[in-house]
Structure 1
Amino acid sequence: MKEKISMEFSVNTSPKILYPRIKTPGGLSEWFADNVNARENVFTFIWKDSVQKAKLISSKEAKFVRFKWEEDEKFTEDYYFEFKIEIQEISGDTTLIITDFVEPDDKEDAINLWKSQVEKLKQLLGL
């Protein structure tokens, strides 16, 4: 059974600038994967050593995007990965919250990979 992980990253940029980076194939290929293609609601993520497909299952403009890996379709559990944009009430800072489901043995590696990917995103955004 997979374990839910959730990580918050401060990305002080406008949600209107951040949202295309988490929703569009062009935006995702700038930081998340080497290349991303989409046909209707199925996104193909291409990395040097692998190709994975995910279905876009839900989204809301400038708020969040939720995908489900094709390989997780066989599970009855609601496994997904999500990029959520929140504005902190007091500071007004933009936070990117990433939620994913991982095998317990892969948890540390998954967290480190997400941290690395978000660092690429921050560099892209000039942060």
Structure 2
Amino acid sequence: MAKKANMAKKINYTLEYQVRCSPGILYEFLATPAGLQEWFADKVDARDHIFSFTWNGAEEKAELVDQNQDEYVRFRWLAAPQDEYFEFRIQRGEVTNETVLLVNDFAEKKEVADQSQLWNAQVKDLMHRIGS
């Protein structure tokens, strides 16, 4: 008899933030250990495309899956399924030409609101660091 999967399927969701800085400056905060350590985690180290993020002494590792200078950076938690990731994408508003940060992540449907609040707090910290 087949076992029922007890893990709910996670869904992809996207959050959008207006950022008052150039894509180049924003990219440095999203793609480098020093930049990420400014707002995303207490400590960030990287070696061979594996980033180690530390919060309150607990470490999580993510693989840098893909990136394009000043456009996007995509990570996958090592403990997560292959098709799940979190991504920072930088776009220019077509009308206003403002920089827009898109955060793509995965969460169970019932956890999207809580995860979104967590991202909102993190990105607020990022905005403070870059003076936006």
Distance in 1 separating the partners of 2:116 and 2:109: 11
- Report the TM-score, using the length of structure 2 for normalisation: 0.90
For residues 112 and 70 of structure 2, the distance between their equivalents in structure 1, rounded to whole angstroms, comes to: 28
Aligned to 1:43: 51
Within-5 A mapping of 1:20-35: 20-35=28-43
1:109 aligns with 2:114: yes
Q: Residue 111 of structure 1 aligns to a residue in which SS? A: helix
What are structure 2's unaligned runs of at least 5 residues? 1-8
Matched residues in 2 for 1:66 and 1:79: separation?
10
Per-residue deviation at 1:51? Answer: 1.3
Q: Which has the larger radius of gyration?
A: 2
After the TM superposition, list the runs of 4 or more consecutive aligned residues in structure 1 that deviate by more than 4 angstroms.
none
Structure 1 counterpart of 2:13, from 5, 10, 13: 5
Q: Which one of 45, 57, 70 corresponds to residue 65 of structure 2?
A: 57
Deviations 1:25-66 (A, max 9, x none): 000000000110000100000001521100000000000000
Alignment partner of 1:30: what SS?
Answer: helix
Query: Which ranges of structure 1 fall in alignment gaps of 5 or more residues?
Result: none
CA-based RMSD of the aligned residues comes to 1.0
Match of 2:104 among 99, 102, 105: 99
User: Residue 87 of structure 1 corresponds to which residue in structure 2?
Assistant: 92
Return the offset for 1:90. Answer: 1.1
For 2:105, the aligned partner's letter is D
SS of 1:114's equivalent?
helix
- Structure 1 residue 123 displacement after superposition: 0.4
User: What is the number of residues matched between the two proteins?
Assistant: 124
AA paired with 2:53?
Answer: F
